[in-house]
Amino acid sequence: MASKKVEKKFSNNKHKLFAEEYISNGFNATRAYMKIYKVEENIAGTSGYRLLKNVQIKEFVNEAKERMRKELDIKKEDILMDLLFINERNKEDNPQHALKAIEIINKMLGLNEPDRQDISISEQPLFGEIKDEDNDE
């Protein structure tokens, strides 16, 4: 099945160039912004991050990522298996790689997120009804 490239309409041509560069350089917003807008790194860091919140850019990037996943037929299970293999092979000789694999596995499985706790508060007065001393009622 051949994939179709969806052409997005951008309100700003540089936004489109930024999005394309961001994808082609491995998803580095700072480098993409520096290349397209010809600015220094300190400006590119914050401006690139801001541009990633633009709806048109976000949709363009998400669609490109989805196309890549489909074309490469990459599944989370395959990535997890590869990471487990990397972890096992590197425990003795290269523990940094093993730890990095564990870190990525934890992120993928959502194990780094704090446990969610639902807390309900019922409003019950501690001392009964409080009367306003200034009011003569």
pTM, 2 dp: 0.57
Mean pLDDT of the chain: 85
pLDDT at 4: 45
- Let me know whether 57 and 83 are in one domain: no
**Tens digits of residue pLDDT in 9-60:** 788 899 999 999 999 999 999 999 999 999 999 999 999 999 999 999 999 9
Q: What is the pLDDT of residue 126?
A: 67
- pLDDT band for position 117 (50/70/90)? confident
Last residue of a domain, one of 72, 98, 118: 72
Q: Give yes or no: residues 39 and 84 share one domain.
A: no
Tokens 């936004």 correspond to 15
Higher pLDDT, 82 or 11: 82
Of 24, 55, 72, the last residue of a domain is 72
Residue 34, C-beta contacts closer than 8 angstroms, at least 6 positions apart: 40, 41, 44, 48
Output b/e per residue, 15-36; b: 16+ Cβ within 10 A. bbebbebbeeeeeebbbbbbbb
> Does residue 118 lie within any of the structural domains?
no
Q: Is residue 95 part of a domain?
A: yes
CB atoms within 10 A of CB 105: 16
Give the model's confidence band at 128: pLDDT under 50 very low, under 70 low, under 90 confident, else very high.
low
Same domain, residue pair 51 and 21 = yes
Crossing angle for the helix pair 29-37 and 41-51, to the nearest 10 degrees = 110
pLDDT at 41: 95
122 found inside a domain = no
Asked whether residue 100 falls in the same domain as residue 64, the answer is: no
Q: Give residue 7's pLDDT.
A: 58
Q: Where do we find the tokens 């306003």?
A: 132
38 and 84 co-located in one domain: no
Residue type, 104: I
Nearest 10 degrees: CA dihedral of 47, 49, 53, 57?
A: 80
Q: Does 130 score more than 70 pLDDT?
A: no
Pair (66, 84) in one structural domain: no
- The span from the CA of 132 to the CA of 124, in Å, is 19
Residues 68 and 84 in one domain: no
CB–CB of 82/25 below 8 Å?
Answer: no
Same domain, 68 and 87: no
**How many domains would you assign to the chain?**
2
Indicate if 80 and 68 belong to the same structural domain: no
Q: How far apart are CA 10 and CA 21, in angstroms?
A: 15
- Give the residue numbers spanning the domain of 35: 13-72
Are 25 and 63 a contacting pair, CB within 8 Å? no
